[in-house]
Amino acid sequence: MISEKTITDFIYEEAELLDTMQWQAWLDLFHPEGRYWMPLEWQQQDPVLQPSLMYEDLLLLKVRVERLAGERTFSQKPKSRCHHLLQSPRIVACDPAAGVFKARTSYIYTETRGDNLERYSGWASHDLVRVGDALKIKLKRVDLVNFDAPFGNIQLFM
Amino acid sequence: MNKYGGNAGAIAALVREAEVHRDVYVDPEIFELEMEHLFPNSWIYVGHASQLAKPGDFITANIGRQPVMASRHTDGSIHVFYNRCPHKGVKIASEPCGNTGKFFRCPYHAWSFKTDGSLLAIPLKKGYEGTGFGDTQANEGLSKVRNVVIYRDFIFARLSDSGVSFEDYFGESLSTIDNMVDRSPEGKLAVQATPIRYMHTCNWKMLVENQTDTCHPMVAHESSAGTAVKVWKREQGDATETPMAVQLYGPFMSPYEFYEQSGIRIWPNGHGHTGVANSIHSNYQDIPGYLDQMVAAYGEQRAHEILGEVRHNTVYFPNIMVKGAVQILRNFIPVAVDKTLVESWVYRLVGAPDKLYERALMYNRFINAPTSIVGHDDLEMYERAQEGLKSNGNQWVNLRRLYDGHEEQDVTAVINGTSERQMRNQFHAWAKFMTMDMDKRIEAAE
């Protein structure tokens, strides 16, 4: 039975996989049709006909993960690391009968590389589905509070 | 240290036939002089008329570092002025775009201006009676940028009162903008999306040079485009269609021979483009219904002519790049000698299928975003160059690929697509527009 705690545990575990750079295990959390979305507009509705920073399916996420380990990935020499500081997820929906599981989590995200360190604040919205006994990510949406600011490289995942 | 100011000879000496001195990228004084001379002497992109659809609409922009704004006046005309109140210098508009209604109002002392920039009213106006206010520049309202040309809805401005005319400055290079606009069945583009903004800790010219650098994609982007191709090969299974994403990434990995034969065209005043015969944008899958719309609008022959022109990157000197085939404009906005704000705009082809807009937006976030893996590859190279150029071991940057010993300047020519001639072309223009008004200013000061 999937409870509210199952959802929050899932979100904490996801952040830990990212922080410990277990990229393959992170990808395994996605549903085959799952998407990772970083909007570029306030309360954006459409990921396709409105501009986004990222809107990627599993194929593209695999490309990113494989690239991070590439011998000729010069922007990862030295490697980036990240840190997620999460507020307790707010459960938006937990309806096992309908198969709807949604949560919204406020976060501070840190990405560092070499001597540089950048901090970002925003909200992660998880739209999860049940596959067998496990939850999988149908959509992970990350809205930065300053989505419209000019950033330098963001190479890992919020 | 004042090594270059007013010294046209010293500046010209930074640009050799096929080498440039590293000071053009790293010297803060050179950057200041670019802001003072190069940008005001050049025609700079301000924005697109579709962003000013209704009277009272305005946009803000920078020419070099100087804040300007453009507005749609009540009579439908477009005006460009400096974005500072004539009173105390407060910026009139602080947002990228908006609608001001019938007039602009300074938030500090409520001086107000018509949407053509002229002074409308000042509170307690009688306080200026007999003060000689009528003879001051402030009485004219917002200082106007007088040299403005709107070419097929693209708004360009030149701050200097004298200089090269718009037509002479751009000449035949405008054909890339023509092609982008013609790709709309209605001959019209619309800005509907906020630009992707990406901060680069490098000199702005590194980005401009990279636009026609065809010997870097297969090297620097092996990590991104190369991995995309590899992962797709492995994962495609029995898929019958190549996803749009792979169509966009794949061609970056084309071999040297592809770029060699696709060609580069250069134009006078530092403009030029890659992808003459064909380009990395040539083989995208057809979007259903689009060709029919184009044929209906232009006729069979003209429609194929328009769509057959698939130029890669067109550099409009000094600091924008246009991609007609995917409807993108990148604006390389100088912030400091080692800091450049890149704003990448997508234009929607009015009347064309949504799928084309989807593809343009996808291309923009794949290549031009701070979250773009292709962008990560490039920025890493620029940052390393910005650092590496501090070395005194060699003070020159080498631009000698396919240099034949005696190149004519300010000509139109089509050449081998791996040539660095467009970079040489840019630097020739750089020296010209940096120094063209220097002697005059010295005379004026004396």
Nearest chain B residue to A65, by CA: B227
Confidence of residue B406 (pLDDT cuts 50, 70, 90): confident
Is residue B2 predicted with pLDDT exceeding 90?
A: no
A42 touches chain B (CB under 8 A): no
Q: Write out the residues of chain B at the interface with chain A, using a CB-CB cutoff of 8 A.
A: 193-201, 220, 222-224, 226-228, 230-232, 235, 243, 245-246, 249, 341-343, 346, 354, 357-358, 361, 364-365, 369-371, 373, 375-377, 379-381, 384
Q: Which residues of B touch A53 (CB under 8 A)?
A: 196, 365, 369-371
Is residue B249 predicted with pLDDT exceeding 60?
A: yes
Confidence of residue B440 (pLDDT cuts 50, 70, 90): low
CATH numeric code, B44-151: 2.102.10.10
In a domain, A152, yes or no: no
Contact B123, B110 (CB under 8 A): yes
Is residue B248 predicted with pLDDT exceeding 70?
A: yes
Domains contained in chain A, number: 1
In a domain, A154, yes or no: no
A152 touches chain B (CB under 8 A): yes
Q: Which pLDDT value is given to residue B445?
A: 55
| Cα B169 → chain centroid | 15
Residue B219 sits at the vertex; the CA angle it makes with B231 and B390, to the nearest 5 degrees, is 135
Is residue B442 predicted with pLDDT exceeding 60?
A: no
Question: pLDDT digit string (tens) for B78-128?
Answer: 999 999 999 999 999 999 999 999 999 999 999 999 999 999 999 999 999
In a domain, A40, yes or no: yes
Comparing CB atoms, the residue among B199, B243, B376 nearest residue A59 is B243
In a domain, A149, yes or no: no
Share above pLDDT 70 across residues of chain B, in percent, rounded to a whole number: 98
Cα separation, A144 vs B352, in Å, equals 32
Question: pLDDT digit string (tens) for B59-91?
Answer: 999 999 999 999 999 999 999 999 999 999 999
Confidence of residue B1 (pLDDT cuts 50, 70, 90): low
Question: pLDDT digit string (tens) for B374-387?
Answer: 999 999 999 999 99
Could you state, in order of their start, the residue ranges of all structural domains in chain B? Answer: 44-151, 190-433
Q: Which pLDDT value is given to residue B42?
A: 98
Confidence of residue B446 (pLDDT cuts 50, 70, 90): low
In total, chain A counts a number of residues equal to: 158
Average pLDDT over residues B253-267: 97
Q: Which pLDDT value is given to residue B51?
A: 98
Answer whether A64 sits within 8 Å of B243, measured CB to CB: no
In a domain, A158, yes or no: no
Average pLDDT over residues B338-347: 98
The enclosing domain of A89 has a CATH number of 3.10.450.50
Cα separation, B300 vs B292, in Å, equals 9
Cα separation, B71 vs B81, in Å, equals 9
Question: pLDDT digit string (tens) for B263-290?
Answer: 999 999 999 999 999 999 999 999 999 9
Q: How many CA atoms lie within 13 A of B296 on its CB side?
A: 10
Q: Which residues of B touch A54 (CB under 8 A)?
A: 365, 369, 371
Per-residue pLDDT tens, chain A, 158 aa: give them: 899 999 999 999 999 999 999 999 999 999 999 999 999 999 999 999 999 999 999 999 999 999 999 999 999 999 999 999 999 999 999 999 999 999 999 999 999 999 999 999 999 999 999 999 899 999 999 999 999 999 999 999 99
Domain of residue A100 covers 4-144
In a domain, A150, yes or no: no
**Prediction ipTM score:** 0.97
Q: Which pLDDT value is given to residue B324?
A: 97
In a domain, A151, yes or no: no
Q: What is the mean pLDDT of chain B?
A: 96
Is residue B260 predicted with pLDDT exceeding 80?
A: yes
Question: pLDDT digit string (tens) for B23-45?
Answer: 999 999 999 999 999 999 999 99
| Cα B149 → chain centroid | 15
The CATH number of B190-433, from 3.90.380.10, 2.40.280.10, 3.30.420.40, 3.30.830.10, is 3.90.380.10
Burial label, B342 (beta-carbon count in 10 A; 0-12, 13-18, 19+): buried
Contact B379, B203 (CB under 8 A): no
